Amino acid sequence: MDAAMMRRLEERLVRYARVDTQSDDSSATVPTTARQLDLQRVLQAELVELGASDVRLNDAGFVLATIPGNVRKPVPTVALLAHVDTASDYAASNVQPIVHRAYDGGCLVLPGNPDIVIDPATDRTLASRRGDTLITADGKTLLGADDKAGVAVIVSVAELLLSDPSIPHGDVRICFTPDEETGSGIGHLALEELAADVAYTLDGEAEGEVTYESFSADQAVIRIQGVAIHPGKAKGRMVNALTLAAKLLVFLPQHARTPETTDGRDGFIHLVHMQGTAADVELTFILRDFELAGLEAHGHALQAATDAVAELEPRAKVTCTITRQYRNMRYWLEKDMRPAELALEAVRRAGVTPTEVPVRGGTDGSQLTERGLPTPNLFAGYHNAHGPQEWASVEEMAKAVETCVHLLRLWSEERVAAPKSKNR
């Protein structure tokens, strides 16, 4: 990638990061926050200016566009997706991106909060990026490179394809999605509207990562209804829901089943929200595991804790409701590994050693794959998402652009049927 394109790639991430696009999982609107549309309108206009076709912002908040193919034979239509929303785990308004040129390998002290330090001694990936141009926030907010780095990569791919007709490719569908962080967005996009045979999310981290395996996920909501009464007359009569909630947490497995104590292929039970009073408490958990048996075991553990609290205090009403979220994309992709295999080859052609990394989370591709559109996940060059220590490497993002171009070339060379999907 030439220096001018590298500068535009950097500029895109900085510009997109400044737009507040935080989603809200407590909202019932579509999308969950109107501010996500602020960036979507910018992207819509930018794709039009680049010369993309069929550019539109639909009623559910998705930006869709087409880059028409330039090969004569029928080849699969490939979609590239990235999400515009940022996580609700940390402050995300008034983001002030900082560009660190020619990173020297030392600690990155963020000036907005000098207590926030990104240390290569504990961040091995950072230690390997000496000489790169790095982008961080100032320490007061997250950066939002998850997934605005992916957005910048895809816009840059679109610019390359539209400006250089010598790059062979079939039809390419561009899709920028809202509400990935809440898990609620992609369900509002019909596969027929995306109109692709295979897709890739640009929502991974380190250079070379190709993901075709994700967590399976459920959500659990436990509600404890106690008995409220004036505390001065409470003896033998009050049932404090807050106290029972504390006991419920003690009843849960305290080791090897929380995010703080697991890694690799371990699943977990994670309390993400608790609210209420002595009269009524609601606890929200997410359950994650790579295998369905493990996910089921997490649900049983929660139900057992719920039952123990109910038995301890029969006057309380204690309920546990578990709802399905998404499933490991591997269950479908392993039936036809060509989308993943071509991605791995594209990484190699970009001069990078690929790594096959199971993602300890989910992507829009988890749901798309389950619905019938095979959608592995590719690296976008960001790290330490969802917090103030987030950073991105422009050089890694450039390799993601190069990987996408090679991937589209590979699909243009395919002479066999596209992966079976339900949308064509």
Catalytic positions, written as ranges: 85, 180
Short-list 85, 111, 70, CA closest to 16: 85
Determine the length of the chain: 424
CB 377 within 8 A of CB 357: no
Query: What is the secondary structure of 254-291 as a DSSP string?
Result: -SSSSGGG--TT--EEEEEEEEE-SSEEEEEEEEEESS
Q: Which long-range contacts (CB under 8 A, 24 or more apart) does 8-11 make?
A: 8/156, 8/159, 9/152, 9/153, 9/156, 9/394, 9/397, 9/398, 9/401, 10/99, 10/133, 10/135, 10/394
Cβ count within 10 A of residue 187: 15
Rounded CA separation 413/43 (Å): 30
In degrees, to the nearest 5, what angle opens at C-alpha 61 toward C-alphas 197 and 372?
25
Rounded CA separation 318/222 (Å): 7
Which residue in the block uniquely carries the two structure tokens 């009524």? Answer: 280
- DSSP structural state of residue 232: G
Residue 101's Cα: distance from chain center in Å?
Answer: 27
| Straight-line distance from the first to the last Cα atom of the chain, in angstroms, rounded to the nearest whole number | 34
Residue 295's SS3 state is helix
Q: Which is it for strands 108-109 and 117-118: parallel, antiparallel or unpaired? A: antiparallel
Residue type, 254: Q
Cβ count within 10 A of residue 293: 8
Measured CA to CA in angstroms, residue 218 lies from 296, 297, 352 at distances of 9, 12, 35
Tokens for 5? 């394109």
Give the count of alpha carbons within 13 A of 370, CB side only: 18
Tokens for 174? 């561009």
What's the Rg (C-alpha) of the chain? 23
Cβ count within 10 A of residue 108: 20
